[in-house]
């Protein structure tokens, strides 16, 4: 048994760079009494244990009083011991590796791309009839986002191709409000986006937009946010929503014919993006 204790002391000394005894706090558990802490200076198996407490008191305990003895490093002195070791990584470096980097700036950059699907209801003005047509579109957006725990608010702009057949496009200035559920790494959210749109692009008509009306945009959606490998510094998301938009504009074509357009866009929008 004594040989085993000697081996334990030797291994502990090698692992801790032969740190001085003052860097250890030993705990002697007693039968029917409170445990005693200090530095064990004598350990005689089956006979006695002598421990020196921090206040300088020396206790000579008989073996019948001792329940067990624990030898451990004083937690308050771990940083001091680590700094004294020749090949020890600095504590601040360990902390950075062990925990994700935290975002220091207040705002996040958000980039997203989208695909839209739906029907276009167009009023051809002088011809006096309306028609609906299945259309496909897409777009890209940038927002500057501020986070408040489970709430994200942001402002930004996006450009969208609303009608792949007519090549009609809109530039939008939008604001968004988002509420996220839970505090985990991956969490669902609901988002409401609204703003004003500026139509442009006469598309295949070969003319130009000579008059236009600034019109509102509404876009509610639900989605899911995924945590990136760098914590707050990278978040991925995907959402599905519906975009409502009515545009009015006038096109003058190559023959100087004036065409009045009023288009009611209703789009199912699938969007994916990243925040960093």
Selection from 237, 138, 217 nearest residue 176 by Cα? 217
The answer to whether 246 and 171 have CB atoms below 8 angstroms apart is no
- Going from N- to C-terminal start, the domains of the chain cover 2-98, 107-275
Give the per-residue pLDDT at 145.
Answer: 94
Distance CA(127)–CA(199), nearest Å, equals 22
Give the per-residue pLDDT at 123.
Answer: 54
Token pair 């000394």: residue? 13
The CATH topology of domain 107-275 is: Porin (2.40.160)
Provide the residue-wise pLDDT of the chain in tens; the chain has 276 residues: 544 444 444 445 444 444 444 455 788 889 888 888 888 888 888 899 998 888 888 989 998 898 888 876 555 555 554 555 554 444 444 444 444 455 567 889 999 999 988 766 555 555 455 556 677 888 999 999 998 888 999 999 999 887 777 677 888 999 999 999 988 788 999 999 999 988 876 555 566 666 777 889 999 999 999 875 444 567 899 999 999 988 777 777 767 777 776 677 788 999 999 988
C-alpha dihedral sign at 37, 41, 43, 48: negative
Give the per-residue pLDDT at 155.
Answer: 96
The answer to whether 233 and 101 have CB atoms below 8 angstroms apart is yes
Selection from 155, 274, 158 nearest residue 225 by Cα? 274
Other Cβ atoms less than 10 A from the Cβ of 191: the count is 20
The answer to whether 45 and 5 have CB atoms below 8 angstroms apart is yes
Give, in order, the Cα–Cα distances in Å from 152 to each of 53, 145, 191, 217.
55, 6, 9, 19
Selection from 216, 237, 222, 199 nearest residue 269 by Cα? 222
Give the per-residue pLDDT at 130.
Answer: 58
Domain range 2-98, its CATH number among 3.30.360.10, 2.30.30.100, 3.20.20.70, 3.50.50.60: 2.30.30.100
Give the per-residue pLDDT at 34.
Answer: 87
Burial 161-187 (b: 16+ CB within 10 A, else e): bbbeebebbbebebebebebeeeeeeb
């Amino acid at each position: 048994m004594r040989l085993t204790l000697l081996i334990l002391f030797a291994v502990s000394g090698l692992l801790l760079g032969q740190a001085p005894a003052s860097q250890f706090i030993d705990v002697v558990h007693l039968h029917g009494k409170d445990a005693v802490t200090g530095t064990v200076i004598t350990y005689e198996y089956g006979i006695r244990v002598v421990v020196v407490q921090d206040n300088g008191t020396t206790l000579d305990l008989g073996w019948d009083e001792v329940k067990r003895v624990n030898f451990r490093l004083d937690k308050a002195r771990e940083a001091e011991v680590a700094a004294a070791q020749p090949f020890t990584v600095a504590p601040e470096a360990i902390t950075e590796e062990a925990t994700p980097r935290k975002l220091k700036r207040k705002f996040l950059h958000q980039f997203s791309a989208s695909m839209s699907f739906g029907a276009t209801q167009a009023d051809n003005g002088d011809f006096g009839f309306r028609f609906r047509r299945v259309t496909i579109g897409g777009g890209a957006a940038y927002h500057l986002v501020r986070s408040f725990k489970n709430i994200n608010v942001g402002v930004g702009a996006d450009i969208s191709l609303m009608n792949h057949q007519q090549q009609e496009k809109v530039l939008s200035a939008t604001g968004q409000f988002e509420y996220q559920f839970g505090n985990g790494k991956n969490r669902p959210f609901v988002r409401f986006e609204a703003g004003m749109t500026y139509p442009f692009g006469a598309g295949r008509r070969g003319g130009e937009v000579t008059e236009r009306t600034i019109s509102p945009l509404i876009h509610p959606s639900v989605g899911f946010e995924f945590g990136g490998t760098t914590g707050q510094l990278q978040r991925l998301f995907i959402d599905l929503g519906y975009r409502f938009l009515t545009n009015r504009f006038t096109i003058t074509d190559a023959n100087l014919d004036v065409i009045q357009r009023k288009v009611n866009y209703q789009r199912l929008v699938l969007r994916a993006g990243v925040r960093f």
